[in-house]
A and B are shown apart, each in its own frame.
Chain A
Protein backbone atom coordinates (compact mmCIF):
# COMPACT_ATOMS: atom_id res chain seq x y z
CA UNK A 1 0.00 0.00 0.00
CA UNK A 2 2.93 2.21 -0.66
CA UNK A 3 0.99 4.62 -2.81
CA UNK A 4 -1.28 5.44 0.09
CA UNK A 5 1.55 6.62 2.31
CA UNK A 6 1.56 10.10 0.81
CA UNK A 7 -2.11 10.41 1.68
CA UNK A 8 -2.07 8.81 5.11
CA UNK A 9 0.69 11.00 6.40
CA UNK A 10 -1.52 14.04 5.88
CA UNK A 11 -3.53 12.94 8.86
CA UNK A 12 -2.73 12.95 12.56
CA UNK A 13 -1.42 9.64 13.97
CA UNK A 14 -4.80 8.48 15.37
CA UNK A 15 -6.59 9.02 12.10
CA UNK A 16 -3.73 7.47 10.18
CA UNK A 17 -4.06 4.28 12.16
CA UNK A 18 -7.82 4.21 11.66
CA UNK A 19 -7.41 4.72 7.92
CA UNK A 20 -4.86 1.95 7.62
CA UNK A 21 -7.17 -0.45 9.40
CA UNK A 22 -10.25 0.34 7.37
CA UNK A 23 -8.49 0.40 4.04
CA UNK A 24 -6.40 -2.69 4.58
CA UNK A 25 -8.49 -5.20 2.68
CA UNK A 26 -9.95 -2.94 0.07
CA UNK A 27 -7.00 -0.74 -0.71
CA UNK A 28 -7.27 -1.06 -4.47
CA UNK A 29 -10.94 -0.24 -4.40
CA UNK A 30 -10.55 3.04 -2.54
CA UNK A 31 -11.56 5.88 -4.80
CA UNK A 32 -12.05 8.90 -2.59
CA UNK A 33 -11.46 10.15 0.91
CA UNK A 34 -13.79 13.00 1.77
CA UNK A 35 -13.23 15.43 4.60
CA UNK A 36 -15.91 17.72 5.88
CA UNK A 37 -15.51 20.13 8.75
CA UNK A 38 -17.22 18.91 11.93
CA UNK A 39 -18.37 15.74 10.19
CA UNK A 40 -17.05 12.18 10.16
CA UNK A 41 -14.44 11.32 7.56
CA UNK A 42 -15.88 9.45 4.60
CA UNK A 43 -14.13 6.70 2.65
CA UNK A 44 -15.56 6.02 -0.78
CA UNK A 45 -14.90 2.62 -2.30
CA UNK A 46 -16.16 1.44 -5.64
CA UNK A 47 -19.16 -0.34 -4.27
CA UNK A 48 -19.65 1.12 -0.81
CA UNK A 49 -18.69 3.91 1.49
CA UNK A 50 -17.64 4.01 5.13
CA UNK A 51 -17.99 6.83 7.60
CA UNK A 52 -15.11 6.74 10.08
CA UNK A 53 -15.73 7.10 13.75
CA UNK A 54 -13.71 10.28 13.73
CA UNK A 55 -14.82 13.87 13.28
CA UNK A 56 -12.82 16.15 11.06
CA UNK A 57 -12.24 18.92 13.58
CA UNK A 58 -10.71 22.33 13.04
CA UNK A 59 -7.55 21.06 14.68
CA UNK A 60 -7.40 18.12 12.28
CA UNK A 61 -8.05 20.47 9.38
CA UNK A 62 -5.08 22.64 10.36
CA UNK A 63 -2.91 19.54 10.76
CA UNK A 64 -4.01 18.44 7.30
CA UNK A 65 -3.25 21.78 5.66
CA UNK A 66 0.09 22.03 7.41
CA UNK A 67 1.19 18.56 6.33
CA UNK A 68 -0.07 19.22 2.82
CA UNK A 69 2.02 22.36 2.44
CA UNK A 70 4.89 21.35 4.69
CA UNK A 71 3.92 24.05 7.17
CA UNK A 72 3.77 26.69 4.47
CA UNK A 73 0.06 27.35 4.06
CA UNK A 74 0.73 30.42 1.92
CA UNK A 75 1.42 27.91 -0.84
CA UNK A 76 -2.30 27.23 -1.01
CA UNK A 77 -2.91 30.59 -2.67
CA UNK A 78 -2.63 29.22 -6.21
CA UNK A 79 -4.48 25.93 -5.54
CA UNK A 80 -7.25 27.91 -3.87
CA UNK A 81 -7.74 29.78 -7.11
CA UNK A 82 -7.82 26.54 -9.11
CA UNK A 83 -9.93 24.58 -6.66
CA UNK A 84 -7.64 21.57 -6.59
CA UNK A 85 -4.12 20.46 -5.87
CA UNK A 86 -2.14 17.48 -7.12
CA UNK A 87 0.11 15.76 -4.64
CA UNK A 88 2.93 13.34 -5.25
CA UNK A 89 1.57 10.00 -6.35
CA UNK A 90 -0.84 11.72 -8.68
CA UNK A 91 -3.70 12.02 -6.23
CA UNK A 92 -5.89 15.06 -6.60
CA UNK A 93 -7.29 16.99 -3.69
CA UNK A 94 -10.27 19.19 -4.48
CA UNK A 95 -11.55 21.75 -2.03
CA UNK A 96 -14.54 23.89 -1.36
CA UNK A 97 -15.67 26.20 1.39
CA UNK A 98 -16.02 29.90 1.83
CA UNK A 99 -15.23 31.79 -1.34
CA UNK A 100 -14.19 35.37 -1.86
CA UNK A 101 -16.58 36.27 -4.65
CA UNK A 102 -14.61 39.30 -5.78
CA UNK A 103 -11.37 37.45 -6.18
CA UNK A 104 -12.92 34.16 -7.30
CA UNK A 105 -10.85 32.13 -4.93
CA UNK A 106 -11.39 30.13 -1.83
CA UNK A 107 -10.92 32.01 1.39
CA UNK A 108 -11.17 29.09 3.76
CA UNK A 109 -11.23 25.45 2.62
CA UNK A 110 -13.42 23.37 4.89
CA UNK A 111 -14.39 20.53 2.55
CA UNK A 112 -11.85 18.29 0.88
CA UNK A 113 -12.11 15.51 -1.64
CA UNK A 114 -9.03 13.36 -2.06
CA UNK A 115 -9.31 11.45 -5.30
CA UNK A 116 -7.01 8.47 -5.29
CA UNK A 117 -5.11 8.17 -8.53
CA UNK A 118 -6.19 5.14 -10.45
CA UNK A 119 -3.48 4.03 -12.74
CA UNK A 120 -4.10 0.72 -14.43
CA UNK A 121 -1.18 -0.03 -16.68
CA UNK A 122 -1.87 -2.37 -19.54
CA UNK A 123 -5.60 -1.86 -19.63
CA UNK A 124 -5.39 -0.33 -23.08
CA UNK A 125 -3.20 -3.02 -24.58
CA UNK A 126 -6.01 -4.98 -26.24
CA UNK A 127 -7.12 -1.82 -28.00
CA UNK A 128 -3.78 -0.98 -29.53
CA UNK A 129 -3.98 -3.06 -32.66
CA UNK A 130 -7.57 -2.19 -33.25
CA UNK A 131 -7.26 1.54 -33.41
CA UNK A 132 -4.94 1.17 -36.36
CA UNK A 133 -5.93 0.97 -39.96
CA UNK A 134 -2.98 -0.50 -41.70
CA UNK A 135 -0.14 1.25 -39.96
CA UNK A 136 -1.82 4.53 -39.15
CA UNK A 137 -3.59 5.22 -35.90
CA UNK A 138 -7.10 6.50 -36.37
CA UNK A 139 -8.80 9.42 -34.69
CA UNK A 140 -10.41 7.81 -31.66
CA UNK A 141 -13.05 8.90 -29.22
CA UNK A 142 -13.64 7.13 -25.92
CA UNK A 143 -17.05 7.67 -24.38
CA UNK A 144 -19.06 6.45 -21.42
CA UNK A 145 -20.96 7.44 -18.30
CA UNK A 146 -19.11 9.31 -15.54
CA UNK A 147 -16.72 7.28 -13.39
CA UNK A 148 -16.47 4.44 -15.88
CA UNK A 149 -12.74 4.73 -16.39
CA UNK A 150 -12.41 6.80 -19.55
CA UNK A 151 -9.55 8.80 -18.15
CA UNK A 152 -7.83 5.67 -16.86
CA UNK A 153 -8.11 4.12 -20.31
CA UNK A 154 -6.96 7.23 -22.09
CA UNK A 155 -3.96 7.52 -19.83
CA UNK A 156 -2.84 3.97 -20.49
CA UNK A 157 -3.54 4.34 -24.19
CA UNK A 158 -1.15 7.30 -24.26
CA UNK A 159 1.45 5.25 -22.41
CA UNK A 160 1.08 2.21 -24.66
CA UNK A 161 1.37 4.23 -27.84
CA UNK A 162 4.33 6.10 -26.45
CA UNK A 163 6.18 3.05 -25.13
CA UNK A 164 5.28 0.38 -27.63
CA UNK A 165 8.19 -0.81 -29.71
CA UNK A 166 6.22 -1.17 -32.93
CA UNK A 167 3.88 1.78 -32.78
CA UNK A 168 5.95 4.23 -30.77
CA UNK A 169 4.72 7.65 -31.72
CA UNK A 170 5.38 11.11 -30.28
CA UNK A 171 2.55 11.72 -27.89
CA UNK A 172 1.37 15.07 -26.56
CA UNK A 173 -1.12 15.44 -23.74
CA UNK A 174 -3.11 18.57 -23.00
CA UNK A 175 -3.93 17.95 -19.36
CA UNK A 176 -6.46 20.68 -18.57
CA UNK A 177 -7.43 19.32 -15.16
CA UNK A 178 -4.12 17.66 -14.32
CA UNK A 179 -5.86 14.31 -14.24
CA UNK A 180 -4.09 12.39 -16.96
CA UNK A 181 -0.48 12.90 -15.99
CA UNK A 182 -1.15 14.44 -12.57
CA UNK A 183 1.78 16.81 -12.83
CA UNK A 184 3.27 18.25 -9.72
CA UNK A 185 5.53 21.18 -10.47
CA UNK A 186 5.63 20.06 -14.06
CA UNK A 187 6.70 16.52 -13.23
CA UNK A 188 4.20 13.79 -14.13
CA UNK A 189 3.26 11.67 -11.16
CA UNK A 190 1.71 8.96 -13.29
CA UNK A 191 3.19 6.90 -16.06
CA UNK A 192 2.14 8.31 -19.41
CA UNK A 193 4.92 6.95 -21.55
CA UNK A 194 8.48 7.69 -22.43
CA UNK A 195 7.81 9.68 -25.62
CA UNK A 196 5.14 11.88 -24.12
CA UNK A 197 5.07 15.66 -23.62
CA UNK A 198 2.57 17.36 -21.40
CA UNK A 199 0.92 20.75 -21.26
CA UNK A 200 -0.35 20.86 -17.69
CA UNK A 201 -3.24 22.88 -16.34
CA UNK A 202 -3.93 24.55 -19.66
CA UNK A 203 -7.22 25.13 -21.45
CA UNK A 204 -7.57 22.59 -24.25
CA UNK A 205 -8.25 25.10 -26.98
CA UNK A 206 -4.96 26.91 -26.36
CA UNK A 207 -2.98 23.93 -25.21
CA UNK A 208 -3.58 22.03 -28.42
CA UNK A 209 -2.10 24.72 -30.61
CA UNK A 210 0.77 25.45 -28.31
CA UNK A 211 1.65 21.76 -28.45
CA UNK A 212 1.36 21.51 -32.22
CA UNK A 213 3.41 24.65 -32.72
CA UNK A 214 6.14 23.86 -30.26
CA UNK A 215 6.38 20.09 -29.79
CA UNK A 216 5.40 18.63 -33.21
CA UNK A 217 3.45 15.70 -31.86
CA UNK A 218 2.04 12.83 -33.85
CA UNK A 219 -0.71 11.98 -31.39
CA UNK A 220 -2.68 14.52 -29.38
CA UNK A 221 -4.43 13.27 -26.25
CA UNK A 222 -7.30 15.31 -24.83
CA UNK A 223 -9.66 14.46 -22.00
CA UNK A 224 -13.35 15.37 -21.85
CA UNK A 225 -14.22 17.39 -24.89
CA UNK A 226 -17.58 19.10 -24.68
CA UNK A 227 -17.60 22.71 -25.75
CA UNK A 228 -17.76 24.23 -29.18
CA UNK A 229 -14.33 25.74 -28.65
CA UNK A 230 -12.92 22.28 -27.97
CA UNK A 231 -14.48 20.93 -31.15
CA UNK A 232 -13.24 23.82 -33.27
CA UNK A 233 -9.77 23.40 -31.89
CA UNK A 234 -9.87 19.67 -32.68
CA UNK A 235 -10.97 20.27 -36.24
CA UNK A 236 -8.16 22.74 -36.74
CA UNK A 237 -5.67 20.36 -35.16
CA UNK A 238 -6.75 17.49 -37.39
CA UNK A 239 -6.02 19.66 -40.37
CA UNK A 240 -2.39 19.92 -39.32
CA UNK A 241 -2.03 16.17 -39.47
CA UNK A 242 -2.00 15.06 -35.84
CA UNK A 243 -4.03 12.11 -34.72
CA UNK A 244 -6.57 12.89 -32.02
CA UNK A 245 -7.52 10.56 -29.20
CA UNK A 246 -10.07 12.01 -26.82
CA UNK A 247 -12.85 11.24 -24.37
CA UNK A 248 -16.39 12.52 -23.89
CA UNK A 249 -19.29 11.96 -21.56
CA UNK A 250 -22.08 9.95 -23.06
CA UNK A 251 -24.17 6.93 -22.19
CA UNK A 252 -24.36 5.50 -25.67
CA UNK A 253 -23.29 6.20 -29.18
CA UNK A 254 -26.56 7.71 -30.35
CA UNK A 255 -26.51 10.23 -27.56
CA UNK A 256 -22.90 11.02 -28.37
CA UNK A 257 -23.54 11.74 -32.01
CA UNK A 258 -26.59 13.81 -31.25
CA UNK A 259 -24.90 16.22 -28.87
CA UNK A 260 -25.22 19.69 -30.39
CA UNK A 261 -21.68 20.86 -29.63
CA UNK A 262 -20.07 17.65 -30.89
CA UNK A 263 -22.20 17.25 -34.00
CA UNK A 264 -19.85 19.04 -36.34
CA UNK A 265 -17.10 16.71 -35.25
CA UNK A 266 -18.89 13.64 -36.55
CA UNK A 267 -20.44 15.19 -39.63
CA UNK A 268 -17.19 14.99 -41.48
CA UNK A 269 -16.68 11.40 -40.38
CA UNK A 270 -13.18 12.10 -39.25
CA UNK A 271 -13.39 9.77 -36.30
CA UNK A 272 -13.05 6.18 -37.30
CA UNK A 273 -12.84 4.55 -33.89
CA UNK A 274 -15.34 4.79 -31.06
CA UNK A 275 -14.75 3.05 -27.73
CA UNK A 276 -17.67 2.67 -25.36
CA UNK A 277 -16.59 2.12 -21.76
CA UNK A 278 -18.84 0.58 -19.17
CA UNK A 279 -18.29 -0.82 -15.76
CA UNK A 280 -20.20 -3.57 -14.03
CA UNK A 281 -20.97 -3.94 -10.36
CA UNK A 282 -17.74 -5.79 -9.66
CA UNK A 283 -15.68 -2.96 -10.99
CA UNK A 284 -14.63 -4.76 -14.16
CA UNK A 285 -14.22 -2.61 -17.24
CA UNK A 286 -15.77 -3.40 -20.59
CA UNK A 287 -14.73 -1.79 -23.84
CA UNK A 288 -16.81 -2.03 -26.94
CA UNK A 289 -15.23 -0.71 -30.08
CA UNK A 290 -17.19 0.61 -33.03
CA UNK A 291 -15.91 1.99 -36.18
CA UNK A 292 -19.09 3.56 -37.34
CA UNK A 293 -22.44 4.15 -35.82
CA UNK A 294 -23.65 0.78 -34.62
CA UNK A 295 -21.00 -1.13 -36.50
CA UNK A 296 -19.44 -3.04 -33.68
CA UNK A 297 -15.86 -4.12 -34.15
CA UNK A 298 -14.72 -5.73 -31.00
CA UNK A 299 -15.63 -6.28 -27.42
CA UNK A 300 -13.25 -6.63 -24.51
CA UNK A 301 -13.72 -7.17 -20.85
CA UNK A 302 -10.92 -6.31 -18.50
CA UNK A 303 -10.99 -7.12 -14.82
CA UNK A 304 -9.79 -4.50 -12.45
CA UNK A 305 -6.31 -5.29 -11.20
Chain B
Protein backbone atom coordinates (compact mmCIF):
# COMPACT_ATOMS: atom_id res chain seq x y z
CA UNK B 1 0.00 0.00 0.00
CA UNK B 2 2.84 2.26 0.93
CA UNK B 3 4.48 1.68 -2.43
CA UNK B 4 1.23 2.51 -4.17
CA UNK B 5 1.00 5.82 -2.29
CA UNK B 6 4.62 6.57 -3.08
CA UNK B 7 4.04 5.95 -6.79
CA UNK B 8 0.97 8.15 -6.76
CA UNK B 9 2.84 11.06 -5.20
CA UNK B 10 5.71 10.65 -7.61
CA UNK B 11 3.42 10.44 -10.61
CA UNK B 12 1.47 13.47 -9.47
CA UNK B 13 4.39 15.81 -9.04
CA UNK B 14 6.05 14.55 -12.20
CA UNK B 15 2.88 15.20 -14.13
CA UNK B 16 2.67 18.76 -12.86
CA UNK B 17 6.28 19.33 -13.74
CA UNK B 18 5.73 17.92 -17.18
CA UNK B 19 2.67 20.06 -17.80
CA UNK B 20 4.48 23.20 -16.82
CA UNK B 21 7.36 22.33 -19.06
CA UNK B 22 4.96 21.64 -21.93
CA UNK B 23 3.75 25.24 -21.69
CA UNK B 24 7.08 26.32 -23.09
CA UNK B 25 6.94 23.79 -25.88
CA UNK B 26 3.36 24.69 -26.73
CA UNK B 27 4.06 28.40 -26.76
CA UNK B 28 6.89 27.91 -29.21
CA UNK B 29 4.77 25.74 -31.46
CA UNK B 30 1.81 28.12 -31.35
CA UNK B 31 4.01 31.12 -32.13
CA UNK B 32 5.32 29.30 -35.18
CA UNK B 33 1.75 28.56 -36.28
CA UNK B 34 0.77 32.18 -35.68
CA UNK B 35 3.59 33.39 -37.90
CA UNK B 36 2.58 30.83 -40.52
CA UNK B 37 -1.00 32.09 -40.41
CA UNK B 38 0.22 35.62 -41.04
CA UNK B 39 2.19 34.47 -44.05
CA UNK B 40 -0.99 32.93 -45.46
CA UNK B 41 -2.85 36.17 -44.71
CA UNK B 42 -0.21 38.13 -46.57
CA UNK B 43 -0.34 35.88 -49.62
CA UNK B 44 -4.13 35.84 -49.84
CA UNK B 45 -4.47 39.58 -49.39
CA UNK B 46 -1.66 40.70 -51.66
CA UNK B 47 -2.07 38.19 -54.47
CA UNK B 48 -5.76 37.49 -54.43
CA UNK B 49 -7.16 40.57 -52.69
CA UNK B 50 -9.27 38.16 -50.76
CA UNK B 51 -11.73 39.66 -48.26
CA UNK B 52 -10.86 39.10 -44.64
CA UNK B 53 -13.62 36.71 -43.71
CA UNK B 54 -12.63 34.33 -46.51
CA UNK B 55 -8.98 34.71 -45.58
CA UNK B 56 -9.67 33.78 -41.97
CA UNK B 57 -11.62 30.76 -43.16
CA UNK B 58 -8.73 29.61 -45.32
CA UNK B 59 -6.28 30.09 -42.46
CA UNK B 60 -8.45 28.24 -39.98
CA UNK B 61 -8.38 25.21 -42.27
CA UNK B 62 -4.60 25.24 -42.40
CA UNK B 63 -3.72 25.62 -38.73
CA UNK B 64 -4.31 23.51 -35.63
CA UNK B 65 -6.15 24.35 -32.43
CA UNK B 66 -6.21 26.73 -30.60
CA UNK B 67 -5.46 29.03 -33.54
CA UNK B 68 -7.96 27.12 -35.62
CA UNK B 69 -10.65 28.04 -33.10
CA UNK B 70 -9.46 31.64 -32.99
CA UNK B 71 -9.75 32.21 -36.71
CA UNK B 72 -12.98 30.24 -36.94
CA UNK B 73 -14.56 32.46 -34.27
CA UNK B 74 -13.57 35.48 -36.31
CA UNK B 75 -15.26 33.96 -39.34
CA UNK B 76 -18.40 33.29 -37.33
CA UNK B 77 -18.51 36.77 -35.85
CA UNK B 78 -18.27 38.26 -39.32
CA UNK B 79 -21.33 36.33 -40.51
CA UNK B 80 -23.59 39.09 -39.27
CA UNK B 81 -23.26 42.73 -40.11
CA UNK B 82 -20.66 44.26 -37.80
CA UNK B 83 -19.70 47.85 -37.25
CA UNK B 84 -16.07 47.55 -36.40
CA UNK B 85 -13.75 44.65 -37.06
CA UNK B 86 -11.06 45.81 -34.64
CA UNK B 87 -13.47 45.45 -31.71
CA UNK B 88 -14.19 41.85 -32.65
CA UNK B 89 -10.52 41.14 -33.23
CA UNK B 90 -9.65 42.47 -29.79
CA UNK B 91 -12.34 40.39 -28.13
CA UNK B 92 -11.23 37.18 -29.81
CA UNK B 93 -7.57 37.91 -29.15
CA UNK B 94 -8.31 38.32 -25.44
CA UNK B 95 -10.05 34.98 -25.55
CA UNK B 96 -7.02 33.50 -27.29
CA UNK B 97 -4.92 34.41 -24.26
CA UNK B 98 -7.18 32.13 -22.22
CA UNK B 99 -7.24 29.14 -24.51
CA UNK B 100 -3.65 29.04 -25.72
CA UNK B 101 -0.11 28.91 -24.37
CA UNK B 102 0.57 32.34 -25.82
CA UNK B 103 1.75 35.05 -23.49
CA UNK B 104 1.03 38.74 -23.03
CA UNK B 105 3.81 39.93 -25.34
CA UNK B 106 2.48 38.34 -28.46
CA UNK B 107 -1.13 39.05 -27.54
CA UNK B 108 -0.28 42.75 -27.38
CA UNK B 109 1.35 42.53 -30.82
CA UNK B 110 -1.81 40.85 -32.14
CA UNK B 111 -4.06 43.51 -30.65
CA UNK B 112 -1.96 46.25 -32.21
CA UNK B 113 -2.33 44.56 -35.56
CA UNK B 114 -6.09 44.45 -35.10
CA UNK B 115 -6.25 48.24 -35.13
CA UNK B 116 -4.84 48.40 -38.64
CA UNK B 117 -6.65 45.41 -40.08
CA UNK B 118 -8.67 46.02 -43.20
CA UNK B 119 -8.55 49.78 -43.08
CA UNK B 120 -5.70 50.56 -45.44
CA UNK B 121 -4.52 50.25 -49.00
CA UNK B 122 -2.90 47.06 -50.21
CA UNK B 123 0.64 48.32 -49.78
CA UNK B 124 0.09 49.57 -46.26
CA UNK B 125 -1.77 46.42 -45.26
CA UNK B 126 1.12 44.36 -46.55
CA UNK B 127 3.56 46.50 -44.57
CA UNK B 128 1.53 46.05 -41.39
CA UNK B 129 1.46 42.29 -41.83
CA UNK B 130 5.19 42.14 -42.50
CA UNK B 131 5.90 44.29 -39.46
CA UNK B 132 3.77 42.08 -37.24
CA UNK B 133 5.57 39.01 -38.55
CA UNK B 134 8.89 40.62 -37.64
CA UNK B 135 7.73 41.31 -34.08
CA UNK B 136 6.41 37.79 -33.70
CA UNK B 137 9.64 36.31 -35.00
CA UNK B 138 11.58 38.23 -32.39
CA UNK B 139 9.28 36.90 -29.69
CA UNK B 140 9.63 33.41 -31.15
CA UNK B 141 13.41 33.58 -30.86
CA UNK B 142 13.10 34.41 -27.20
CA UNK B 143 10.51 31.70 -26.64
CA UNK B 144 12.76 29.12 -28.28
CA UNK B 145 15.61 30.03 -25.97
CA UNK B 146 13.35 29.86 -22.98
CA UNK B 147 12.09 26.47 -24.00
CA UNK B 148 15.61 25.12 -24.37
CA UNK B 149 16.52 26.45 -20.96
CA UNK B 150 13.47 25.70 -18.91
CA UNK B 151 11.38 22.90 -20.26
CA UNK B 152 13.63 19.99 -19.31
CA UNK B 153 14.39 21.57 -15.97
CA UNK B 154 10.75 21.81 -14.95
CA UNK B 155 10.22 18.16 -15.78
CA UNK B 156 13.22 17.26 -13.63
CA UNK B 157 12.02 19.52 -10.85
CA UNK B 158 8.70 17.73 -10.81
CA UNK B 159 10.34 14.33 -10.49
CA UNK B 160 12.80 15.42 -7.80
CA UNK B 161 10.10 17.04 -5.74
CA UNK B 162 8.21 13.78 -5.92
CA UNK B 163 11.17 11.78 -4.71
CA UNK B 164 11.74 14.33 -1.97
CA UNK B 165 8.20 13.96 -0.66
CA UNK B 166 8.35 10.20 -0.89
CA UNK B 167 11.55 10.03 1.10
CA UNK B 168 10.18 12.47 3.62
CA UNK B 169 7.06 10.49 4.21
CA UNK B 170 8.76 7.17 4.27
Residues in A lying within 8 Å of B, measured CB to CB: 9, 12, 62-63, 66-67, 69-78
Contact = CB atoms under 8 A, between A and B. Distances in A.
A71 B85 contact: yes
B49 A77 contact: yes
The prevalent SS among residues of B at the interface is: loop
Given A9-B81, A67-B81, A73 B120 contact: yes
Contacts of B53: 70-71
Contact of B45 (A9, A63, A74): A74
Nearest to B55: A72
26 contacts: A62-B119, A63-B83, A66-B84, A66-B85, A67-B81, A69-B118, A70-B51, A70-B52, A70-B53, A71-B51, A71-B52, A71-B78, A72-B45, A72-B49, A72-B50, A73-B118, A73-B119, A74-B45, A74-B118, A74-B121, A75-B51, A76-B121, A77-B49, A77-B121, A77-B122, A78-B49
Contact of B49 (A9, A62, A74): A74
B51 A72 contact: yes
Interface of B: 45, 49-53, 78, 81-85, 117-122, 124-125
A152 B29 CA distance: 59
B110 to A, nearest CB: 17
Contact of A74 (B81, B85, B125): B125
Contacts of B125: 74
Contacts of A74: 45, 49, 118, 120-122, 124-125
A12 B84 CA distance: 11
Nearest to A108: B121
B28 to A, nearest CB: 31
Given A69-B118, A70-B52, 14 more contacts: A9-B81, A63-B83, A66-B84, A71-B51, A71-B52, A71-B78, A71-B85, A72-B51, A72-B118, A73-B120, A73-B121, A75-B49, A77-B49, A77-B121
